[in-house]
């Protein structure tokens, strides 16, 4: 697979539909909210900018990011040159693309080692959907012909190992479990040994949910990371931060803290099939440059899509106006 | 960003107002702007922020301020009062039956902490309300959800009723309650599957469960880190089920927790409990007024006192105080203190509740292991040594032996004995003070963290007062 292919039209309609269906707020469709704000104003003034600010805030796009964005919008030379409010929409969308892309070509494909084992580590706070996401990714990569191994590294939460074990069975991939283990690093160590010996392509490591302000748990994560990079050269190829779409401003603190202890390579945004817009990942991208790699849109193992900026931005301003 | 939390931010914006003779309109506008940004950053719903700011502004500019001698203090008071109002004036208790079986249904989004909090709540109500709980596992969808509840049940020694994943939840809850009646349980807590509020079939399932069991409480678990959507979620669940209370989880994170304000204000659902960690005893009743004080940096003194009271019964406290006064404080007493402090939860968690300290310890890494080391060191002392600390401080041989026994360095033993000696001296001095001297001292440093014991009054044992800091 190539680079992040923003304007690729292949399967586009079908995928947009999935986002739309997933986000289930389709009365006014993608961009509905933005359209209705613009339609409600006859001239470009502070009032309009205030309403736009509210719409951004409502989508959980960070306060700082929002305020900077609106300020930049006001001063954009293109805005001065327009006659009607409607002409503002393409400029806003354009600027949002800029906000995300930042002049880079964003690669949201996984970094996979072509000649040997790749290790992916999944991290995040409690309850964001790490285990389910691992199952979904295992399913996807398996279908791409990869030999997948899972490591049940959440040795803390009751039932977590069983949960991943059930998923492994459903997806049809192997799993390393160490009954009674309390040190996740030792589980990962064992899994790496097995993966090397039996020529697996990709090892997916589950970890316990940890709040980013718990120093000891963050140190534990640092250790896991150390073990992985010591045992496999260039690993972990991916360390993915899972963010729940319902998360508010705390998402920024999560990104910052996890980046301190691990080399986070990207974000996976989960539960975007609810009413939450997940705008905080835009702020995370804006502030910490982390790309969003995938989006979770349901509870089934197929409900995971590569991140599509156009669909995502459309979803931020979907319907539900009052 | 210079401010890590709402309380610091508001404190800062209002610091400009306090201590000034007069407040003009511009001062208030400036403060309000900062409060607005601060509240939005705390994930308070944007509509509420607007209303809140307008209300405070009107009140602050009104004659109340003009009459006041210190307008700055007045604005602080208004902000505080409005915040309390925003969160509901009083703590709302659970509706539990006095006789018969009380039924609590726990619902919420995926990953909001339902299963963990069913366990915590069962444990809490068994301990505090002396109820006999049964937990019902009605989440048949998430893989291993039942196992998770079974593990928690085993850990707490609380029975879990389950019928596997092939029976409909509507049937499971019915059978579960029959079972509870049969076995003489008087509290039933039901764990349900996480679901989106817009998932019609799964919401219908909850409506049917509600009809079948007629619960006394329907609690919605809400992740304290939730953003602007918290209100929509709460509202949708409320419309379908008539939620009786919220359980705000993961409040031990560094979230600013504005979701709590939003939900209370817009849906009028009271927040009844807060979850404060992954351990089964890390749950507490929600107190709106205390939360408001906390936001304003006044600290959560009351919660702190309650926790202290739970762990330090007065009889023991009195005895301890007498010992301190007489300079007879031994290593055994010290060990006892450490156990009590540990029982109260993490030291950092406790310190965060003390006014003025909360914002300072944010970056402080308190090594809770220190306690374990001290315990190990004391554990390696002989009975005699523990009773008579002087034996150790004078003997090189004893220190070496203790170091070897505890696996800690000689230096550490030396430090501990020195500190212990200083502590004894200080205690003796403090305990001999009268009220006014005490007052002076309380503005300075306490002799030791965690020493929240009262001084014995004349006529021992009678007239036991509250705890002193």
Residue A301: pLDDT over 60: yes
pLDDT winner (highest mean) among A138-147, B263-272, B363-372: A138-147
Residue A78 CB neighbours (<10 A) = 13
Distance CA A87, CA A91 (A): 7
CA distance A65 to A248: 13
- Distance of residue A273 Cα from the nearest chain B Cα, in angstroms: 8
- Whether the per-residue pLDDT at B197 is higher than 80: the answer is yes
Q: Which fold has domain B102-298?
A: Rossmann fold (3.40.50)
- Contact flag B228-A271 (C-beta cutoff 8 Å): no
Q: For B136-149, write each residue's pLDDT tens digit.
A: 999 999 999 999 99
DSSP, res B145: H
Mean pLDDT value of segment A123-151: 97
- pLDDT, chain B, mean: 78
Q: Supply the pLDDT for residue B64.
A: 53
Contact (CB<8Å) B226/A248: yes
Cβ proximity of B165 and B114 under 8 Å: no
Q: What are the chain B neighbours of A250 within 8 Å (beta carbons)?
A: 43, 225, 253-256
Q: Hey, do B6-87 and B102-298 end up sharing a CATH topology, with the first three levels equal?
A: no
Is B6-87 CATH 1.20.120.140? yes
DSSP A169-203: HHHT-EEE--TT---HHHHHHHHHHHHHHTT-SEE
**Chain A touched by B371 (CB under 8 Å):** no
For an interface test with B, give the residue of A56, A71, A126, A250 to mutate (most B CBs within 10 A): A250
Question: How far off is chain A from B287, nearest CA to CA, in Å?
Answer: 22
Whether residues A246 and B229 touch (CB distance < 8 A) is answered with: yes
- Helices then strands, counting H and E runs in chain A, come out as 13, 8
Q: Where do the domains of chain A lie, and which CATH numbers do they carry?
A: 20-101 (1.20.120.140), 118-311 (3.40.50.300)
Q: Across residues A224-230, what is the average pLDDT? A: 96
> Nearest-CA distance from A229 to chain B in Å?
27
For chain B, the first-to-last Cα distance in angstroms comes to 34
Say if residue B176's pLDDT is above 50: yes
Name the architecture of domain B305-443. Orthogonal Bundle (1.10)
Span B285-326, pLDDT tens digits? 988 876 666 555 444 444 554 555 555 555 666 676 677 667
Q: What do you get for the CA distance between the two ends of chain A, in Å?
A: 42
Could you tell me which residues are beta bridge partners of residue B200?
A: none
| pLDDT exceeds 70 at position B350 | no
Residue B246: what are its φ and ψ, rounded to 5°? -110, 150
Q: Is B363 on the interface with A (CB under 8 A)?
A: no
Helix (H) or strand (E) holding A244: strand A238-244
* Interface contact B226-A63, CB threshold 8 A: no
Q: How many CB atoms lie within 10 A of CB B163?
A: 18
What is the chain A residue with the closest CA to B346?
A214
Closest residue in B to A297 (Cα) is: B196
Residue B365's pLDDT is 59
The pLDDT of residue A140: 96
**Which residues of chain B make contact with A54, given a CB cutoff of 8 A?**
46
Interface subset of A 215-254, CB within 8 angstroms of B: 215, 244, 246-251, 253
Pairing of strands A304-306, A292-296: antiparallel
Give the pLDDT band of residue B466 (cuts 50, 70, 90): very low
Q: Do A126 and B250 touch (CB under 8 A)?
A: yes
Q: Which residue has the tokens 């005893």?
A: B281
> Mean per-residue pLDDT for A26-53?
82
Report chain A residues whose CB lies below 8 A from the CB of B250.
Answer: 125-127, 211
% of residues, chain B, pLDDT over 70: 69
Compare CB distances from A274 to B1, B146, B198 and report the shortest one's residue: B198
pLDDT (tens digit per residue) in A254-266 = 999 999 999 999 9
Distance, CA of A274 to CA of A246 (rounded, Å): 8
Compute the nearest-CA separation of A244 from chain B (Å).
9
Residue A278: φ, ψ to 5°: 65, 30
Alpha-carbon gap, residue B396 to B412, rounded angstroms: 13
CA nearest B113 in A: which residue? A127
**Residue A126 near chain B (CB below 8 Å):** yes
Residue A302's CB is within 10 A of a number of other CB atoms, namely 12
Least confident range from A159-168, B263-272, B410-419: namely B410-419
Residues of B in contact with A158 (CB under 8 A): 115, 147-149, 151-152, 155
Q: Higher model confidence: residue B15 or residue B152?
A: B152
- pLDDT value at position B20? 53
Least CA distance to B45: which residue of chain A? A58
Contact A253 B197 (CB under 8 A): no
Asked if A314 and A31 count as a contact pair (C-beta separation under 8 A), the reply is yes
- Chain B environment of A59 (Cβ under 8 Å): 228
**Which of B285-294, B381-390, B399-408, B454-463 has the least mean pLDDT?**
B454-463
- Per the CB < 8 A criterion, the answer to whether B68 and B147 are in contact is no
- Among the partner-chain residues B151, B152, B223, the one whose CB lies closest to the CB of A246 is B223
Q: In chain B, whose CA is at the least distance from the CA of A156?
A: B278
Q: In terms of pLDDT, which residue wins out, A295 or B451?
A: A295
Measure in Å the smallest separation between the Cα of B204 and chain A Cα atoms: 17
Q: Does residue B72 contact residue B14 with C-beta atoms inside 8 Å?
A: yes
Percentage of residues in chain A having pLDDT higher than 70:
89
The CA-based angle B292-B296-B299, given to 5 degrees, is 80
Burial code (b: 16+ CB inside 10 Å, e: under 16) for A240-272 equals bbbbbbbbbbbbbbbbebbbebbebbbbbbbbb
Q: Residue A105: what pLDDT? A: 84
Higher pLDDT, A17 or B467: A17
Per-domain residue ranges for chain B? Answer: 6-87, 102-298, 305-443
Nearest CA in chain A to B232: A275
> Cα–Cα distances in Å, from B385 out to A63, A181, B82, B329, B404?
60, 39, 57, 12, 16
The residue among B46, B50, B111 with the most chain A CBs within 10 A of its CB, best to mutate, is B111
pLDDT of residue B454: 37
Inform me whether the pLDDT recorded for B378 exceeds 60. yes
Q: How confident is the model at residue B88 (pLDDT cuts 50, 70, 90)?
A: confident
- Greatest mean pLDDT among A137-146, B66-75, B393-402: A137-146
Partners of B459 in beta bridges? none
Per-window interface: B 218-257 vs A, CB < 8 A: 223, 225-230, 232-233, 236, 250, 252-256
């Amino acid at each position: 697979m190539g680079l992040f292919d923003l304007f690729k039209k292949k399967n586009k309609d079908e995928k947009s539909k999935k986002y739309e269906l997933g986000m289930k707020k389709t009365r006014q469709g993608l961009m509905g909210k933005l359209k209705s704000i613009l339609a409600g104003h006859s001239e470009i003034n502070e009032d309009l900018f205030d309403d736009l600010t509210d719409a951004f805030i409502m989508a959980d796009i960070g306060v700082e990011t929002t305020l900077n964005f609106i300020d930049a919008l006001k001063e954009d030379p293109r805005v001065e040159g327009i006659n009607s409010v409607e002409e503002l929409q393409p400029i806003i969308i354009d600027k949002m693309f800029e906000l995300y892309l930042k002049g880079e070509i964003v690669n949201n494909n996984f970094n996979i080692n072509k000649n040997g084992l790749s290790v992916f580590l999944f991290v995040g706070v409690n309850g964001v959907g790490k285990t389910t996401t691992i199952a979904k990714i295992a399913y996807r990569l398996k279908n791409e012909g990869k030999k997948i191994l899972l490591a049940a590294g959440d040795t803390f939460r009751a039932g977590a190992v069983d949960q991943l074990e059930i998923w492994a069975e459903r997806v049809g991939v192997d799993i390393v479990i160490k009954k009674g283990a309390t040190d996740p690093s030792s589980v990962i160590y064992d899994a790496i040994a097995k993966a090397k010996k039996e020529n697996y392509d990709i090892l997916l490591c589950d970890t316990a949910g940890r709040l980013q302000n718990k120093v000891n748990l963050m140190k534990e994560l640092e250790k896991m990371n150390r073990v992985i990079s010591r045992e496999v050269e260039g690993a972990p190829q991916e360390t993915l931060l899972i963010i729940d779409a319902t998360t508010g401003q705390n998402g920024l603190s999560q990104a910052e803290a996890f980046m301190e202890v691990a080399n986070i390579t990207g974000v996976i945004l989960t539960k975007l099939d609810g009413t939450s817009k997940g705008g905080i990942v835009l702020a995370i991208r804006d502030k910490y440059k982390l790309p969003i790699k995938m989006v979770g849109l349901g509870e089934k193992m197929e409900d995971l899509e590569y991140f599509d900026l156009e669909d995502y931005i459309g979803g931020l301003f979907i319907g539900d106006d009052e | 960003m210079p401010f890590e939390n709402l309380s610091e931010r508001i404190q800062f914006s209002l610091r400009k107002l306090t201590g000034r003779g007069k407040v003009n309109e511009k001062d208030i506008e400036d403060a309000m702007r900062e409060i607005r940004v601060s509240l939005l950053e705390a994930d308070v719903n944007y509509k509420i922020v607007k209303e809140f700011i307008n209300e405070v502004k009107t009140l602050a500019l009104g004659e109340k301020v003009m009459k006041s001698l210190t307008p700055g203090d007045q604005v602080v008071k208004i902000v505080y009062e409005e915040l309390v109002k925003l969160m509901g004036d009083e703590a709302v208790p659970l509706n539990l039956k006095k006789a018969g079986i009380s039924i609590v249904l726990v619902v919420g989004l995926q990953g909001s902490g339902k299963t963990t909090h069913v366990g915590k709540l069962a444990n809490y109500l068994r301990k505090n309300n002396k109820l006999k709980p049964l937990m019902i596992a009605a989440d048949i969808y998430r893989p291993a959800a039942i196992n998770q509840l079974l593990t928690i049940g085993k850990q707490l020694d609380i029975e879990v009723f389950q019928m596997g994943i092939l029976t409909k939840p509507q049937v499971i809850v019915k059978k579960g309650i029959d079972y509870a009646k049969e076995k003489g349980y008087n509290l039933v807590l039901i764990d349900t599957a996480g679901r989106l509020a817009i998932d019609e079939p799964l919401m219908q399932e909850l409506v049917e469960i509600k009809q079948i069991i007629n619960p006394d409480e329907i609690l919605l678990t809400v992740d304290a880190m939730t953003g602007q959507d918290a209100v929509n979620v709460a509202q949708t669940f409320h419309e379908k089920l008539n939620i009786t209370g919220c359980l705000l989880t993961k409040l031990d994170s560094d979230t600013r927790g504005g979701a709590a304000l939003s939900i209370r204000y817009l849906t009028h659902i009271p927040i009844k409990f807060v979850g404060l960690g992954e351990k089964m005893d890390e749950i507490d009743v929600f107190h709106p007024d205390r939360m408001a004080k906390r936001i304003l940096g006044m600290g959560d003194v009351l919660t702190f006192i309650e926790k202290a009271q739970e762990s330090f019964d007065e009889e023991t406290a009195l005895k301890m105080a007498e010992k301190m006064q007489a300079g007879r404080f031994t290593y055994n007493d010290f060990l006892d203190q450490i156990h009590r402090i540990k029982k109260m939860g993490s030291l950092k968690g406790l310190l965060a509740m003390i006014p003025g300290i909360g914002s300072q310890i944010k970056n402080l890494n308190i090594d809770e292991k220190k306690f374990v080391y001290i315990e190990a060191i004391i554990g390696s002392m002989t009975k005699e040594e523990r009773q008579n600390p002087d034996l150790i401080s004078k003997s090189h041989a004893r220190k070496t032996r203790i170091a070897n026994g505890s696996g800690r360095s000689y230096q550490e033993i030396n430090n501990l004995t020195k500190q212990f000696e200083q502590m004894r001296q200080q205690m003796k001095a403090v305990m001999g003070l009268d009220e006014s001297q005490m007052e002076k001292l309380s503005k300075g440093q306490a002799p030791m963290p965690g020493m929240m014991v009262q001084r014995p009054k004349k006529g021992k044992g009678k007239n036991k007062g509250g705890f002193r800091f």
